[in-house]
Amino acid sequence: MRRIHVIAAVIRDAQNRILIAKRPDHAHQGGLWEFPGGKVEEAETRRDGLGRELLEELGIAVTEARPLLDIRHDYPDKSVRLDVWLVTGFDGEAHGAEGQPVRWVAAAELDEYAFPAANAPIVRAAQLPEQYLITPDVADEAELFSGLERARDAGIRMVQLRQTGLDDAAYQALAQRVLEKFGGDFQWMLKGDTSPVWPGAGWHLTSRQLRAMWTRQTQGQPGATIGSGAGLLQDEDSFSSPALLAASCHNAEELKMAADLGADFVTLSPINSTASHPDVQPLGWERVRELIDSVNMPVYLLGGLSANELPEAFEAGAQGVAGIRQLWGRSSSISSNVAS
């Protein structure tokens, strides 16, 4: 089946709301909500297709946009490439120019709408920020707390609580204190051998845990997924359901495992060489592009990258950058929205 190239737009306004539209009942995937867009024409660039579709469907002229996520999905009757762009600037008042209902909704509310099956990762990408801070090892809790305050003030919105050298009990106790103080400031991603019990917290698997879990899942229960992205949770293996499931990946095999488990997003590393892993061969941008292209999930690039490299990351198809020192030490000088 020929794959149809579709441009779709996550349009964000100044209040951080996102525009969704309802597909006509008779259309393919009819009656479901969608991100506005449509088929790219033969002699048209992606950007031109985006501009034309949003003018036709919503009566707006796009002024600021960048790639967000590229998805390949096979419906029983149709194969599509959903080439999703984030639109942060436009002229005109968006309205249903073809008579379709449109609605501005908060990112968190997107979960309440019925979208086509291919859209789950788009919803996730629309909700996730551009930067993912991983906490460095700190000397004491005061250093951790002041760093988190700095990150919050600099616009960081998602943090993985990482502290090497703590046993599980000490880590859990630290997480409790950190979440009591900063619970509402960030989307928290926790580590450890069991799914976090804090409401709203996500779980970030190491690549070792990812492999172990994948093996267990695929051998025990074919097709079973645990991630929230797939909408299927099961707790036979004593999982509680994390708000988000993420995994650390370094190659195509691990990316595929994360996708099989229904991960909401992944980190991919190392992009550049880093002081902490001088012996590890960096992936380099060309390979990174190929790897991102091979999956339908939001991917954060990790390893020697700073927020200054967000434009390259977006160009490669990434959700954004993840970082330890780069997003911590200098976080007071980082703009939260470098791309716009």
Ligand X SMILES: Nc1nc2c([nH]c(=O)n2[C@H]2C[C@H](O)[C@@H](COP(=O)(O)OP(=O)(O)OP(=O)(O)O)O2)c(=O)[nH]1
The residues of the shown chain that bind ligand X, judged by CB under 6 A, are: 6, 8, 27-29, 34-35, 37-39, 78, 80, 82, 116, 118-119
Strand extents, DSSP E, the chain: 3-11, 17-22, 33-34, 37-39, 61-75, 78-91, 102-106, 131-134, 158-160, 187-190, 202-205, 245-249, 265-268, 299-302, 320-323
With respect to ligand X, which residue has the nearer C-beta, 35 or 171?
Answer: 35
Q: Which does 6 bind (CB under 5 to 8 A by kind): Mg ion, ligand X, none?
A: ligand X
Choices 36-44, 173-181, 244-252, 288-296; region in contact with Mg ion by CB under 5 A: 36-44
Of 119 and 331, nearer to ligand X (C-beta) is 119
CB neighbours (10 Å) of residue 234? 12
User: Per rule CB under 5 A, is residue 59 in the interface with Mg ion?
Assistant: no
User: Minimum distance from CB of 55 to ligand X (Å)?
Assistant: 12
Separation of alpha carbons 302 and 62, rounded Å = 31
List the single partner that 95 binds among ligand X, Mg ion, none, CB under 5 to 8 Å by kind: none
Record the tokens describing residue 248, joined without a space: 């650390």
Minimum CB distance to Mg ion smaller for 38 or for 192: 38
Q: What is the DSSP string of 181-215?
A: HHTTTSEEEE-SSS---STT-EEEE-HHHHHHHHH
- Binding-site sequence positions for Mg(2+): 37, 57
d(CA 232, CA 255): 19
- Residue written as tokens 């900063």? 182
Q: Whose CA is closest to 96, among 46, 34, 49?
A: 34
Which of the ranges 38-46, 94-102, 241-249, 269-277 carries the binding residues for Mg ion, by CB under 5 A? 38-46
CB of 50 to ligand X, least distance (A): 11
H-state helical runs in 128-188: 141-153, 168-182
* Per-residue tokens: 275: 């002081």
Pick between residue 295 and residue 313 the one whose CB is nearest to ligand X. 295
CB of 65 to ligand X, least distance (A): 15
CB of 288 to ligand X, least distance (A): 26
Q: Between residues 58 and 305, which has the closer beta carbon with respect to Mg ion?
A: 58
- In Å, how far are 2, 72, 142, 211 from 260, measured between CA atoms? 24, 15, 39, 11
**Nearest distance in Å: CB 188, ligand X:** 29
Single-letter amino acid code for the residue at 79:
S
Q: State in angstroms the smallest separation of the CB of 20 from ligand X.
A: 8
Residue type, 232: L
Write out the binding residues for 8-oxo-dGTP.
23, 28, 34-37, 119
* Selected binder of Mg ion within 29, 32, 38, 172 (CB under 5 A): 38
Tokens representing residue 230 in the block: 């797939």
- CB nearer ligand X, residue 49 or residue 136: 49
Residue 8 interacting entry, from ligand X, Mg ion, none, C-beta within 5 to 8 Å by type: ligand X
**Residue 116 partner contact from ligand X, Mg ion, none using kind-dependent CB cut-offs of 5 to 8 Å:** ligand X
Query: Which residue blocks in 8-106 are alpha helix, DSSP H?
Result: 46-58
Give the footprint of Mg ion on this chain (CB under 5 A): 38
